[in-house]
Structure 1
Amino acid sequence: MDNQELLYHYFSNSLTSEQEILFQNLLETDAKFKAQFEFEKDLKEAVKSHETDNLKAKLQEVESGINSKQKKSIFNYSNLAIAASIAVLIGWFGYSTFFSTNYTSLYEDNYNEYPNTVFTITRSEDQNSLEREAFVAYEAKNYQTALNTFEVLSEESPKDYIRFYKAQSYLGLEDNEKAKTLFKQITKEHQNFVAESTWYLALIAIKEKDKTQARTYLENLVVNYDYNKDKAQELLEALN
């Protein structure tokens, strides 16, 4: 794998564990690679700018920085190389960065783990229960432990919120398919957490770049519920 491909995988968050080791080693031992990485990292920030004027200004700052570094010279970029790097990075972030929906940003800006609102965690001995264990793990973001415990609880307890927090644990583990299945069951079978489940179904659809399905869930929220109604309206506008 050449260095350019390695950088591509880094900026697209797709490095394998072996590639991560190689990447870190190159940063520490290869001055040219490190300089190229720093250049493209700066350029990435410019490309992600939402405003054209800001983007142009940041690109000028990056190019100016490269020109000043040429005097100390680890390596030199020609104007053609700079243009090529810009073109490659624009390709990485996709056409949608400038002209269409940035699904990743919409998801990351709106996703938050749902707080524990149903079980008060205390230190008293009489609260030392399986349910307490599950929510202690959940609040600590130990999602696998929480999930394992919620699994047991869901077999023993009719409480509808167990299924909801089980779905949240799957989200924390980035298992969107299993989370989605549970959220859908909640919207069909339960009165509690229906609006909240609909919200998270919308976010999953956004993450999966399913605009039609996302809009369906968001429109349902705006029309039928108060939960995150304003945020749902903002997301609908962003998805237009």
Structure 2
Amino acid sequence: MKVKLRRFTGREFVTTEYEVETGENPTVLEILTKIKEELDPSLSFRAMCRASVCGTCAVKVNGEHRLACNTRVNGEEVLIEPVDGYIPIKDLVVSHEEIYDGLRRARVWFVPREENLTITPQELNKTSRAWDCILCGICNNVCPPLLEKRDFGGPSLFTKIYRILEDPRDSLGEERLNGLTALNAQNCVHCSNCNLFCPKGCMPERWITVIEGKLTQKGYIQKKTEDFGFLGF
């Protein structure tokens, strides 16, 4: 198999080609590991769990953002590139600081109540899918407002916030909701790219819509009337 790697050298992107002997339907991570171990030990990429849990191995595969560990390829040629939305560091490795800065800025952690509350299965089901987010960043890398550098919190951040916002054990309540105005949920264009490419099926656009509705209902943001044209078909 011919493998093309678009790598960042620290100053520019270059494309390197390799001929790799693989088994049938190898994963992208298997291909990258084989290149590093047998052909080019200088290659840098991220991978930890190999089981779609850690979220560190996101790359572009033939132009689509995927997790390297659970994406299988076949055919005679494959192109592997760094993801689009984050600052490149080396080869396929990009900075994730933007994700972590957003989590700190939005205080995405519980502030527990003094009393010990029991959460019901029904309440837990409301947020169960959002809890599956592994912060791989793929949703952010296919989000038009973020790629266009608009002031927008992003799908992964709103997914993490939703699971706390709907949890009765969190004590901030209205204060937490008010603090979300700076993240500009109304700047979401509802293209559903994040839903389509999320490897865990977290459905980020759904939670953005819910949060945007809550903020609008409370008067923290204005109801959006602008047509961005993404759904105009």
TM-score by shorter chain over 0.5: no
Q: TM-score range by the shorter chain?
A: under 0.3
Normalized per residue, which structure has more strand?
Answer: 2
Q: TM-score, normalised by structure 1?
A: 0.27
Larger-gyration structure (1/2): 1
Normalized per residue, which structure has more helix?
Answer: 1
Structure number with the bigger relative contact order (C-alpha 8 A, sep ≥ 6) is: 2
Q: TM-score, normalised by structure 2?
A: 0.27
